[in-house]
Amino acid sequence: MRTVVIFAAGSRGDVQPCLALGRALLRRGDTVRILASLRYRRLIAEAGLELHPLPVDPVEIVESAEGQELLAGRRNPVAFIRHMDRVLRPRMMSMLEETQVGAKGADLVLAPTFSFLGLHLSEYLQVPHAVIHFQPSQPTKVFPHPFAPAARMLGGVGNRLSFSAVDFGSWMVFRRFVNAWRRESLGLPELSLSAPFRPVRQAPVLCAFSPTVVPRPSDWGRNVHVTGFWHHDQPLWTPPRRLLAFLSDGPPPVYVGFGSMKTGDPEATDALVRTALRRANLRGVLPGDPATSEDDILVVDDTPHDWLFPRMAAVVHHGGAGTTASALRAGRPSLVCPFFGDQPYWAARVHELGAGPTPLPVCRLTVAALVDRLHALTQHAPYTETARRLGRDLEAEDGVARACQVLDRLGVGSGPVDRGRV
């Protein structure tokens, strides 16, 4: 029996796939510990997994003045990195220290590429590690890194270099913190400025997205596995009577929600969305305070997407990897209103696949623009037909089982030395 530690310091959309994988590993006899914000303690407990809380709450960061400044710089990579440094600087050392404590006794570490965290813990604990990608962050000539779409203009070479550029920018921000942690707490030598470019031992890479949505590039190595999305369903959840009554009282509504993302004026955005839904003659379901519900708009608190989305006519969301996966799996057309990060990438994929209209970035959100997109979303039959087909394809996949098979078969952590990713 192994103790598997999964680093999941992001938002709910990052945590839930880790819970899906963790539950599968638990059923196989492993002990699974999730390193995540205390905000998700109930979700983690319901999944039967251990939690080691981290002192970083992504939702609080986004809602803070610093977080809003971070979002304001999302279209300028230099400004974004500078603001990221300012936001995380006071939190970084405490997060690294708690990560070290939480990883104690691990036999296997699973982590995203954030600051090469899995590599540091693997060296310190002398145990294998595997990389988790929630978006296609593995170098390829086929497309650029989701955070650097402009590199596409430089062709295949530019596409591939964009991955190193993103890693290098991140390493520039976090290097001094991580090296201090390696030196003072882990007893490991510091890594150089060129760490993102140096050859490293090849580790298994689990791409937690579907090959139906992101076809596997031919230049990815044998250690890279596109498993399919990792869906965390909550079958024991009981819908409130008010929600059931609303759904049965008229045509299927449209869900509009942006997850943990916040606009500069949430109240104004809420009013804009309600106005647009009415002008498009649509009923709506929104996340938030149920007391603000109206006759044609129901506001719900924490409601599992795997239950709710199949009952909608369509879904409007921010383009987080987890929400995108849930909407596509539900077989419902989507309008994506991306904020930053990998969200524009997923927005483009939904449109390119034919499952929704042209994305509407949240910075361009107006009543008129949203009404126009809502008409296209709900009245263009090919979007609905394509979404249904994709939903059937994704429902047939079992990304979690595939990920477990990869870990079992590979004898995690073995492999040749190659120029690649940690």
| H helix runs in 47-154, sequence order | 58-63, 65-72, 77-102, 117-125
Residues 130 and 217 in one domain: yes
For the segment 75-133, what is each residue's pLDDT rounded down to a tens digit?
A: 555 555 556 666 666 778 899 999 999 999 999 999 998 778 999 999 999 999 999 99
Enclosing H/E stretch for 334: strand 334-336
Q: 375 Cβ partners below 8 Å, 6+ apart?
A: 280
Q: What angle do CA 157, 119, 130 make, to 5 degrees?
A: 80
What is the per-residue pLDDT for 295?
94
Q: Which domain holds residue 210?
A: 3-229+397-418
| H helix runs in 280-398, sequence order | 305-308, 321-329, 343-353, 367-379, 381-395
Residues 261 and 333 in one domain: yes
Residues 338 and 296 in one domain: yes
Residues 274 and 209 in one domain: no
Q: 358 Cβ partners below 8 Å, 6+ apart?
A: 351, 373
Residues 402 and 345 in one domain: no
Residues 139 and 270 in one domain: no
Residues 223 and 261 in one domain: no
Q: Note whether 208 and 422 are within 8 A (CB).
A: no
Residues 359 and 324 in one domain: yes
Residues 285 and 378 in one domain: yes
One-letter identity of residue 199:
P
Separation between Cα atoms, residue 126 and residue 296, nearest integer Å: 58
Is 333 within a domain? yes
Q: 274 Cβ partners below 8 Å, 6+ apart?
A: 284, 286, 294, 297
CATH, residue 124? 3.40.50.2000
Residues 248 and 294 in one domain: yes
What is the per-residue pLDDT for 419?
29
**Confidence class for position 422, pLDDT limits 50, 70, 90:** very low
List the structure tokens of 133. 């990608």
Q: For all residues of the chain together, what is the average pLDDT?
A: 89
In the chain, the percentage of residues whose pLDDT exceeds 90 is: 73
User: How many structural domains is the chain composed of?
Assistant: 2
Enclosing H/E stretch for 77: helix 77-102
One-letter identity of residue 37:
S
Instruction: Kindly report the pTM of this predicted structure.
Output: 0.90
Separation between Cα atoms, residue 280 and residue 242, nearest integer Å: 24
Is 234 within a domain? no
Residues 222 and 299 in one domain: no
**Confidence class for position 72, pLDDT limits 50, 70, 90:** low
Residues 69 and 57 in one domain: yes
List the structure tokens of 77. 């990579």
Q: What angle do CA 160, 136, 397 make, to 5 degrees?
A: 145
Separation between Cα atoms, residue 42 and residue 34, nearest integer Å: 12
Enclosing H/E stretch for 13: helix 12-27
